[in-house]
Amino acid sequence: MNSDCHQTITLAQQFWQHPTGKPHEHDHMPQVDICENLHRLRENLHQCEQRAARPPASTKLIAVSKTKPLAMVQRALECGQSDFGESYAQEFEHKAQSLAEAPITWHFIGPIQSNKTRIIATWADWVHSIDRLKLARRLSAQRDPNAPPLNVCIQVNIDHEPSKAGVELNEVTHLAREIAAMDQLRLRGLMCLPRPRKDPQAQREPFERLRQALDQLNAQGFQLDTLSMGMSRDYCAAILEGATVVRIGTAIFGARQ
């Protein structure tokens, strides 16, 4: 099963390269068969769900389109994908504006600079990368009161990596309480980006700790339904540990530059 997961990535990377090795004439739209990749990925997700004894399609798939052209988002949309993830505020604004009429649920998943919160408050349906009270306050204040509340997840630095964003597990409850009291935000759960482990079994451990943290919050009275965890290389491990949302880019759109 884990080899299937890896196979998806390999295939996606093969599709990314033009068969002749030369750049394609329309290099704004590289030779990636997005529909095929999505189809294969959904099959692999179903297999992971089955292994986890969970119903098929119970994991929400976010197609992470950061750095990829608008045409690739449109193609994925045509192939039935509706949730998209972006990491860079300006690129996100451009795509969301261009596709304002499309039936897309937009997820902002990248590091947030405070001077970009207005863009995110305006265009996002979800934000997965909240790790500071100040950001949450700004997003809540800048969200149009007539719009539905912004769905948010707290990002946890599950492996205590200095290079990564996110709060430590012992800070989660405090931030969660503050966010839960904000009018224009709706706290949905937790997100993490663990350090890669070589062994797929060992990869489950950080995801397990995030799930336990969510369970603890719910035991304290929160009603959180979202565990945003798992990317191209580790989504099976995440699903086995209860991911409700996976964020996958490379296996759909090919490697990024």
Residues near ligand PLP, by CB under 6 A: 64, 66, 87, 109-110, 193, 231-233, 247-250
- Measured from the CB atom, the residue of 81 and 232 that comes closer to ligand PLP is 232
- Measured from the CB atom, the residue of 177 and 197 that comes closer to ligand PLP is 197
Shortest Å distance, C-beta 242 to ligand PLP: 17
- Measured from the CB atom, the residue of 84 and 222 that comes closer to ligand PLP is 84
Shortest Å distance, C-beta 193 to ligand PLP: 5
Q: Which long-range contacts (CB under 8 A, 24 or more apart) does 201-207 make?
A: 201/237, 203/234, 203/237, 204/237, 204/240, 204/241, 206/158, 206/159, 207/234, 207/237, 207/238, 207/240, 207/241, 207/242, 207/243
- Measured from the CB atom, the residue of 95 and 247 that comes closer to ligand PLP is 247
Closest-CB residue for ligand PLP?
Answer: 249
- Measured from the CB atom, the residue of 30 and 249 that comes closer to ligand PLP is 249
Shortest Å distance, C-beta 194 to ligand PLP: 11
Shortest Å distance, C-beta 62 to ligand PLP: 8
Shortest Å distance, C-beta 157 to ligand PLP: 12
